[in-house]
Amino acid sequence: MVYVDNDIYLNIANVARFERTTPAGIKAIFILLSESDLTRRQDPISWDKLLDMMVAPVNRVFGLTINTRLLTVGVPHDFLINVINNSPYNMGSAP
């Protein structure tokens, strides 16, 4: 069983369109993974994550920085610094 609890929504300036997009994404998850039945299985959506989700043009999802305006995906700077500083081949401090 695959559980899906993350959706990435492109930054849409039109509030009415955004208010239609989010429920459509939720409905699509339930169509694909079946309706909620907590007596038999875990819910396919993490409602806590959904309610806490920050709606912004730049978000951190799955440990990556996603910019929906520039359509870029990158590794967060703090992660890179941590890797460099903990590398056995580190020749000095990170920038």
Domain boundaries, the chain: 1-54, 56-95
Contact 85, 93 (CB under 8 A): yes
* Confidence (pLDDT) at 62: 77
Output the pTM of the full model.
0.47
Residue 45 main-chain phi, psi, to 5 deg = -120, 135
Residues 6+ apart with CB under 8 A from 74: 64, 65, 67
What's residue 41's pLDDT?
83
Tell me if residue 83 falls in helix, strand or coil.
helix
Considering only residues 66 and 52, tell me which one the structure prediction assigns the higher pLDDT: 66
- Per-residue pLDDT averaged across 23-46, rounded? 82
pLDDT digits (tens, 9 = 90+) for 56-80: 778 887 788 888 778 889 999 998 8
CA-angle at 55, arms to 74 and 13, nearest 5°: 100
The residues that bridge with 60 in the sheet, in sequence order, are 65
**Residue-wise pLDDT tens digits, 2-32:** 334 455 555 556 778 777 877 888 888 888 8
pLDDT at 1: 34
